[in-house]
Chain A
Amino acid sequence: MDRPQTTKPRPSPVARRPSSGFLNAIGAIVWKDLAAELRSRELLSAMLVFALLVILIFNFALELDPLTRRVATPGILWATFAFAGTLGLNRSMAVEKDRGCLDGLLLAPVDRSAIYFGKTISNLAFMLIVEVVVLPVYSVLYNTNLFNPGLIVVILLGSVGYVAVGTLLSSLAVQTRTRDVLLPILLFPVVIPILIAAVKASSGFLQGLALTEVMPYINLLIVYDVIFTAVAYMVFDYVVEE
């Protein structure tokens, strides 16, 4: 008996040309991460809740009267981003390793650095989403106007640098026994220039300092981003090879 055709006959996969271009690979990895996250939302919810809890703790840790608030806001913001970012980096890589996705990616006929850039961009996306939520919440909770274009630029640059180094080091950390615990230990000493520059630049923009005073820190952020993206790109192969 002839089975009724329920699906359109698909062309044989061999006939299709595999799109193994570098940018296509990066796009595929970013899309995979974002799609997976959209369905489960486990990573973003964890990062968001954690970030909000950290802000809550700071409320009790520091007496945030209006004057202290003005001085401490950049520091609190960046401490929050750093901790939540660590969470995101850890989970993102751990999921990759546990489900065997990393092995699958390594088998793909693309340059290994495509995996690095793909993961970095998706980690950056997650971190930016968290930051986009934290800023209005902080503004409301502490009655501080954080909608400052300069601040947005600093947050963007700082996040890029943080995630560039963080993705590399989380690829390292996830393959060790001590995993989650190790990433902050490896990451924080190395990422200090970003924290310094980001806090100072954020503070400068929030206090309305002249651009010339803030520029050294912006330059530092850009230099750090460029150097460490380049280093991570060169070295990533050694981290994931079997």
Chain B
Amino acid sequence: MKPQPIALKVLNVVSVLLFLAALSMVFLYAPLEATMNYVQKIFYFHIANAWVGMLGFIAAAVAGVVYLVRHDQKWDIVELAAVEISLVFFLIAILAGSIWARPTWGAYWTWEPRLTTAAILEMVYIAYLLLRQGIDDPDRRARFSAVYTLVGAISVPITFLSIRLFRTIHPVVIGTNSAASQGGFDMTSKMLATMFFALFTFSIIFANLFWHRIRLGQLAQQVEQLKLEEIQ
């Protein structure tokens, strides 16, 4: 494997430092929320992870389209890296959301539009990985993955809108029906600052992991080419 470039080493350190800074901001700088107290603090990382996960998905779709147009294998590596990493970020977001939901809404999960769409998005990611697993030929794998990313990326917004349509016309009773059942709260400027900092931190962490994953993908591609040459 090629040695890590200086920029990557710097990014590693910066990511860790930013994460520690974000953590301390969440616990020390951001004020306690009135009704939810400490439970609300998971919110900052939940939003950051969800946002970054969505972004990764869009990046994967774009990489897929570029691959179909250019047929350059490196875009396939980028696409796989984006999907794999976003899968984990989004899973963390879902888990964090569930932890937050239990005391707030009374249930770990509800079938409201955003959560349902999140679950479907995760399923699309997992289906993507299963698709890749089933194909040995690198070119075919790259083509099929790109096609599926495109189909998935187009379907997810439509799914979100359709679920929203589904749930607004026939409202579903969620666990607790108190005024705070939405879990909404007004954010003071300190909270906003913390949230944006967390968003920024996780974007940097995403970029860092993305770069590492691409390097890993390049190495895997070399290994696979060696294997194919051996077989031939």
* A pairs with B: yes
Is the Cβ of A178 less than 8 Å from the Cβ of B130? Answer: yes
Chain A contacts of B161 at CB under 8 A? 193, 220
Min C-beta distance of A59 to chain B, whole Å: 25
Does B135 contact A189, Cβ atoms closer than 8 Å? no
User: Hey, which chain A residues are within 8 Å of B140, CB to CB?
Assistant: 175
Grouping DSSP codes into helix (H, G, I), strand (E, B) and loop, the A interface class, with mixed when no group exceeds half, is helix
Assess whether B150 is in contact with A175, with CB atoms less than 8 Å apart.
no
State whether the Cβ of A154 lies closer than 8 Å to any Cβ in chain B: no
Name which of A13-21, A136-144, A231-239 contacts chain B.
A231-239
Residue A168 interfacial (CB < 8 Å): yes
Which 4 A-B residue pairings sit nearest by Cβ, starting from the closest? A176-B134, A178-B134, A193-B162, A189-B123
The 8 A CB mask of B187-228 against A (1 = contact, 0 = none) is 000000000000000000000000000000000000000000
Once the chains bind, are A227 and B147 in contact (CB under 8 Å)? Answer: no
- Residue in chain B with minimal CB distance to A177: B134
Question: Quick check: B165 and A231 within 8 Å, CB to CB?
Answer: no
Asked if A165 contacts B154 (CB within 8 A), the reply is no
Q: Flag whether A216 is at the interface (Cβ < 8 A).
A: yes
Interchain Cβ contacts within 8 Å, total number: 97
Say whether A186 faces chain B, with CB atoms less than 8 Å apart.
yes
| Overall SS of chain B's interface | helix
Closest to B65 in A: A235
Is residue A110 within 8 Å, beta carbon to beta carbon, of the partner chain?
A: no
Residues of A within 8 A of B133 (CB): 178
Q: What is the size category of the interface that chain B forms with chain A? A: 20 to 34
Which A residues are CB-close (under 8 A) to B56? none
Q: Would you list 29 pairs from A and B whose C-beta atoms are within 8 A, ordered by A residue?
A: A168-B147, A169-B148, A172-B148, A176-B134, A177-B135, A178-B130, A190-B151, A192-B155, A192-B159, A192-B163, A193-B158, A193-B159, A193-B162, A196-B159, A196-B162, A197-B165, A220-B158, A220-B165, A228-B151, A228-B154, A228-B155, A231-B150, A231-B151, A231-B154, A235-B151, A238-B143, A238-B147, A239-B143, A241-B143
> In the bound complex, what is the Cα–Cα distance between A75 and B127 (angstroms)?
24
Pair B151/A168 contact, Cβ less than 8 Å: yes
| A-chain residues with CB within 8 Å of residue B169 when the two chains form the complex | 200, 213, 216
Over the window 139-170 of chain B, the binary record of Cβ atoms lying under 8 Å from chain A Cβ atoms (1 yes, 0 no) is: 01001101110111011001101110110011
B residues sitting closer than 8 Å to A (CB atoms) are: 68, 120, 123-124, 126-127, 130-131, 133-136, 140, 143-144, 146-148, 150-152, 154-155, 158-159, 161-163, 165-166, 169-170
CB distance from A209 to the nearest CB of B (A): 10
Find out whether the CB atom of A227 lies under 8 angstroms from the CB atom of B158: yes
- Contact partner of A238 (CB less than 8 A), chosen from B68, B120, B123, B166, is B68
The answer to whether B130 touches A193 (Cβ under 8 A) is no
Check A117 for interface membership: any CB of B closer than 8 A. Answer: no
Contacts A182-B134, A231-B150, A231-B151 given; indicate if A189 touches B143 (C-beta within 8 A). Answer: no
Q: Are A239 and B155 in contact (CB under 8 A)?
A: no
Is the CB–CB distance between B131 and A172 below 8 Å?
A: yes
Contact check, B130 vs A189: say whether CB atoms are below 8 A apart.
no
